[in-house]
Structure 1
């Protein structure tokens, strides 16, 4: 049976992706997926070679056919999102265009256009890719600028990762989740075997940890916690670990502050591919997870 570990954090910048990349090296032939589709960066460490690219389309956008537009302004009058713009004068009449960034895809302008001069195609929101890395196959994606439905794209990435794991007989799907607690995070963790929350010993780290553990409890997903850069604030680390235990999460270990992590990132390497002191900390956490 394939197990799915999702590495998440209540906030950005806690070291979540660095930990995920190291786990990808330590795991036995995992399928890797980057669910942080709004700001993916796992590829910077794992250097995937793209084998397949697929368009991601979701929702709709309105597009005026200029040849059929009579300039009546019905679309401008009915749009509540300010997406319709007057485009100067043509042959003595106003013409209109729809700003694709402002368009919410509600379809009201399509409904009220007397000439049916507005098309309503599916919106191209980004792309998802199947790639190969030195650690195994990787499914990742890129959401377009101002594009929506990131949760749906995350679900696509996870579905493809599970499919490949089943087809190739791989026992672990390893996912780098997005920060926060919003829709992309929910799409990342739903149905997972385990979530690992990477936090840091700060007030904001403690606050956001509580939020993300509450999310895991709501969806009945087992949670584990590790504290990155714990030695920068040992007192806060103790406090965070106690809070995690009280919330029913398993504390899997601590990762010391190590400048070698940044150096490894600059070299495009996972930190466990170096001889950095913190490697033993990450190895301990991976062993403790029992995957």
Structure 2
């Protein structure tokens, strides 16, 4: 089983559009081999792969993570101990009553343990929902974190676990993940156990800088990286710089995609680029052949030295 994670050092590089196209190409290949792919949207803070794939949920579960303090007004003696103890300013004092602001509460439990009246409950916190769905390209695991909630890395880990179970159930040979932008906690969780990372890079100074950070993260976890340079024709100098950096580090540039209004047209139509007549479809098909080969090579154990 191979896990391919599409990542980017910054948002807005076209990562989700590329991932949707690769998911379509993987499903086309599955019709020939009989071994499909499982799709996984790991950008749980702001997921958007569902906009192109139109998933139909067959399983919906609440994501429970951490706890949240809640004051019982009938048992509260208005002593103000909780307000004095809370380092996060989560205790509100209004109309001679105390209450917890759920957006500020960090779930540390100090107020719960030290309330003299025992008036503060500590129920589990529902932070969002996760889903197992069906799409025209195959089964999909995805989620949505509630606004202001944390523990996105934990939710990403849960989704990857569900995707692996789906892959075993369906005998899929590939898990294709749309990762989060940047290098934070959800990205680290996205890369855990990955076979290959596909970095979508824009030819701008900030794009090159942020790609350097995410590539260093992959190097730290010994995950091979291949590149797709998006809007490559808008800044030939930076594109050449990215190409040179890739060659210096022994990384493959799977494709250089020109800027095209076809991307927006495909989004509006709710289609992957490879489902359209755009010239980009052929470039992405060539990129998928390279990515598929690199992933197969990376997933094959090296022969022992004798």
Tell me the TM-score normalised to structure 2 length: 0.91
Deviation at 1:190, TM superposition (A): 1.4
Deviation at 1:246, TM superposition (A): 2.2
Alignment of 1:234-253 (within 5 A): 234-253=236-255
- Pairs aligned (count): 285
Q: Does 1:57 align with 2:64?
A: yes
Query: Distance in 2 between the 1:244 and 1:118 partners?
Result: 56
Query: Distance in 2 between the 1:248 and 1:118 partners?
Result: 57
| Structure 2 unaligned residues grouped into runs of 5+ | 31-35, 296-306
- Look up the match of 2:126: 124
Query: Distance in 2 between the 1:253 and 1:26 partners?
Result: 15
Deviation at 1:33, TM superposition (A): 0.4
Alignment of 1:79-90 (within 5 A): 79-89=86-96
Summarize deviations over 1:136-175 as a string: whole Å, max 9, x none: 0000000001000000000011110011001110111000
- Look up the match of 1:163: 165
Deviation at 1:120, TM superposition (A): 0.8
- Look up the match of 1:288: 290
Summarize deviations over 1:106-130 as a string: whole Å, max 9, x none: 1110111011110111111101000
Query: Distance in 2 between the 1:158 and 1:259 partners?
Result: 33
Contact kept, 8 Å, 1:257 with 1:278, in 2: the verdict is no
Other structure's SS at 1:105 match = coil
Alignment of 1:140-155 (within 5 A): 140-155=142-157
Other structure's SS at 2:95 match = strand
- Look up the match of 2:174: 172
Summarize deviations over 1:11-69 as a string: whole Å, max 9, x none: 01111000000011000221000000000000000000011110101111100111111
Tell me the TM-score normalised to structure 1 length: 0.96
Query: Distance in 1 between the 2:241 and 2:232 partners?
Result: 11
Residue from 104, 107, 128 that aligns with 2:106: 104
Query: Distance in 1 between the 2:79 and 2:251 partners?
Result: 61
Other structure's SS at 1:221 match = coil
Deviation at 1:247, TM superposition (A): 3.0
Higher helix share: 2
User: What RMSD in Å do the two structures reach over aligned CA positions?
Assistant: 0.9
